[in-house]
Structure 1
């Protein structure tokens, strides 16, 4: 399950952990905090595996740092599900990670999911595209 974090004035919110622990999470959290990263993607099957609902527009999430401490809040501004090979470049670019083109985005995401989850992502894998706005 996604972690739940108590936030004064907001009750309990779901936590948002980007990437995996270590340098990648530290970098991604910083990119969100400085406004560079305004989007993130996940495999729909991860939600099913975790028994979690999709994020929804207007939902507030606690951005967690590498030590699972709150690093701010994000507000979900859009959610869409598309097959892996139909993720548009505009979305990939909004992830703010310096991908050179959509093929680079696909390659890097496939490598990440293979490394962290042992999953080979097929072209038709449903991907959840989340747009977000950081609030310190």
Structure 2
């Protein structure tokens, strides 16, 4: 089973995982360039992924319910709200995500290719 690590290690990952476990976060967005760099194929509808915590242990299993390739400027409000992070507008979502990606050394513009994932909680990780 492949894994999904949300955000960066530390408080951000804990917060995002808590949103998933509470059912508030049912989507996430990644840079297509990261898939290319890691030579990793895109997720697919029905695929189950281990959601990893800061220690690398599985905290939940999610099932992919949708995969969409779009540009940074093409992300919809519907997707942004499904991320469950409390953004009050699409512009607020864009500002926060632009700041995050710039902070990890990958500035984005309106044409930057993204992967938008939708998911739901699935039966728990093995051994949980």
What TM-score bracket applies, with the shorter chain setting the length?
over 0.9
1:53 pairs with one of 23, 37, 41: 41
SS at match of 1:36: coil
| Distance in 1 of aligned mates of 2:118 and 2:89 | 19
Structure 2: runs of 5+ lacking an equivalent: none
Listed one character per residue, the Cα deviations across residues 8-57 of structure 1 (whole Å, up to 9, x for unaligned) are xxxxx111100001110000001001110000000111100000000000
Look up the match of 1:110.
98
List 4+ stretches of structure 1 deviating above 3 A. none
Q: How many residues align?
A: 123
**Cα offset for 1:120?**
1.1
| Distance in 1 of aligned mates of 2:106 and 2:53 | 25
2:106 pairs with one of 119, 127, 134: 119
- Aligned Cα root-mean-square deviation (Å): 0.7
Structure 1: runs of 5+ lacking an equivalent: 1-12
The alignment's TM-score, normalised by the length of structure 2, stands at 0.94
